Structure 1
């Protein structure tokens, strides 16, 4: 199997994995872990007060999502760069 065929299969799998939950549960609310944790804490201890407040409060949910996606993209870039450098350096060591 050629590399482009493997990549095509992986891309299709990613699309299926992302689309199936949206298709099976069209009216579901896909919340984050922060919201679930806050609900659990409030349920267990209604008098709980957070230790600190956020330094920067995003203007809207869209801005918050943008910042989260940007953080994820930068992290993926760093991980990909490091893995690429490690792979390249291993190949060069064997050639000498």
Structure 2
């Protein structure tokens, strides 16, 4: 096995370890997002003092809260767009470097 492959496998093992470790340390913990955590803390400190600044656009359009599945779908779409932009940027940088070195060799 090549040296580079060993490092890749070692890095993957480390990432898996970092993901599994919190689950092994505290299996009964609730791992939830931070979307509403701030408002919950403010409500605990001073009852009724938290007032949202705005209502989400889609929530106003349909007149009620979005179902959890729709929120997850929109979050995944947003993530996909972000990953696409990053992948395009990295691909562009790699291709620019690759093709600029080839054009210098031809000269």
Whether TM-score is above 0.5 comes out as yes
1:12: Cα distance to partner? 1.9
Partner of 1:91: 98
CA RMSD of aligned residues (A): 2.3
Partner of 1:72: 79
> Following superposition, which runs of at least 4 residues in structure 1 exceed 3 angstroms of deviation?
none
Whether the 8 Å CA contact 2:43–2:50 is kept in 1: the answer is yes
Quick check: 50-59 or 38-47, which moved more? Answer: 38-47
TM-score of the superposed pair, with normalisation by structure 1: 0.73
Among 48, 66, 72, the alignment partner of 1:58 is 66
Identify unmatched segments of 5+ residues in structure 2: 59-64
TM-score of the superposed pair, with normalisation by structure 2: 0.67
How many residues matched?
94
Q: 1:63 to 1:51 in 2, by over 3 A?
A: same
Identify unmatched segments of 5+ residues in structure 1: none
